[in-house]
Amino acid sequence: MTDARIATARLGEQGPEVGVQGLGCMGMSFAYGPTDTDQARAALERALELGVTLYDTADAYGAGENERFLSPFFKAHRDEVVIATKFALSIPPDDPTKRVIRNDPPYIREAVEASLRRLGVDVIDLYYMHRRDVHVPIEESVGTMADLVREGKVRHLGLSEVTADELRAAHAVHPIAAVQSEWSLFSRDIEARVVPAARDLGVALVPYSPLGRGFLTGSFADAEKDLTADDFRRMQPRFTGANASANAALLEPVRAIAEAHGATPGQIALAWVHQRAAVDGLTVVPIPGTRKPGRVEENAAATALTLTDGELARLEPIAAKVAGSRYADMAFVSAGRE
């Protein structure tokens, strides 16, 4: 691996310029089992050396713990990093399977102050609404988010898992720099409506879980057998039992294409997501998550891979064959409301 820096891209017409691949930091404190924190810190530093500048967190990741963990890194490199965090979601401590969603203005104001405190910075570069509370008009929530921009607490706005209509309504209130939604070889529902809307509006797409939460790399095959008891992926229907074995078989073409490129299956999965920028005609900045510096290098190197039309055609049928939904309750994400 050379130290060549990855290319850059702009999030939205007026948004920040970032490395064309970001780093998902959620797993460093939440959802994916135990973390070696020294390795995680080394992963953050290595990413920055390679030109990865967009760092993704949320107040919900470990009930603030992820933001606190990232704070020293952000403070040490404040002018080089683009800090993205999110509000709206909380997980009741007595029931980790539940999710509470709030988008009302007083909640947003409390949430931003708490995130700023934990992060130890005076401004958040990209502030996302993590999930949509359908009981609050989106214009009202985005109106408050826009006030935060005017007040200098936040620089740019983003939305996660919104429908195309929600995105249009929000963008009419204040420019939205990025939509963050799940997008990978296994999860392509946003291509029907959200992606065309983002392209029309000049909004960037920030695909989360571009490695299918690790499944596309082959790093686990069955969440119940291979992952720790508290791992979130055990709650996702596609990663357990008969679904998991059927889905593992779908990875064969990914492996074959990887071999032809002298690459790993994960790199092919990432190259596919990056190539959506050319296929769909919009800016795409995926945020693969890893806690290991070697994997940061591997993932960054995928930005230099180009798949042929024939390879893209071989990968095309995979998503439609995936057994099991991406969340147990699809009302939680945009596809459940489109």
Is 61 catalytic? The answer is yes
Nearer to ligand NAP among residue 37 and residue 151 (C-beta): 37
Say how far apart CA 58 and CA 161 lie, in whole Å. 14
Nearer to ligand NAP among residue 48 and residue 211 (C-beta): 211
Q: Which of 62, 266, 293, 324 binds ligand NAP (CB under 6 A)?
A: 266
Nearer to ligand NAP among residue 269 and residue 309 (C-beta): 269
Contact 59, 115 (CB under 8 A): yes
Q: Which of 53, 217, 243, 247 binds ligand NAP (CB under 6 A)?
A: 217
Neighbouring-strand partners of residue 291: none
Q: How far is the CB of 323 from ligand NAP (least distance, A)?
A: 18
The yes or no reply on residue 293 touching ligand NAP (CB under 6 A) is no
The yes or no reply on residue 119 touching ligand NAP (CB under 6 A) is no
Q: Which amino acid is located at 224 in the chain? A: E
Cα 334 to Cα 26, 164, 165, 191, 245, distances in angstroms = 20, 9, 10, 11, 27
Q: CA-based diameter of the chain, in Å? A: 54
Beta strands (DSSP E) in 138-192 are 154-160, 178-182
Q: How far is the CB of 260 from ligand NAP (least distance, A)?
A: 18
The yes or no reply on residue 132 touching ligand NAP (CB under 6 A) is no
Say how far apart CA 89 and CA 96 lie, in whole Å. 12
The yes or no reply on residue 247 touching ligand NAP (CB under 6 A) is no
The footprint of ligand NAP on residues 272-291 (CB under 6 A) is 287-291
The yes or no reply on residue 298 touching ligand NAP (CB under 6 A) is yes
The yes or no reply on residue 29 touching ligand NAP (CB under 6 A) is no
Question: Which of 55, 61, 128, 208 is labelled catalytic?
Answer: 61
Nearer to ligand NAP among residue 115 and residue 290 (C-beta): 290
Q: How far is the CB of 255 from ligand NAP (least distance, A)?
A: 13
Nearer to ligand NAP among residue 228 and residue 313 (C-beta): 228
Cβ-proximal residue to ligand NAP, closest one:
24
Number of other residues whose CB lies within 10 A of the CB of residue 1: 11
Strand 154-160 and strand 124-129: pairing? parallel
Closest CA to 255 of 290, 215, 203, 304: 215
* Dihedral of alpha carbons 170, 172, 176, 182, sign: positive
The footprint of ligand NAP on residues 65-94 (CB under 6 A) is none
The residues annotated with a catalytic role in the active site are 61
Residues lying near ligand NAP in the complex (CB under 6 A)? 24-27, 32, 56, 130, 160-161, 180, 208-214, 217, 219, 266, 287-292, 295, 298-299
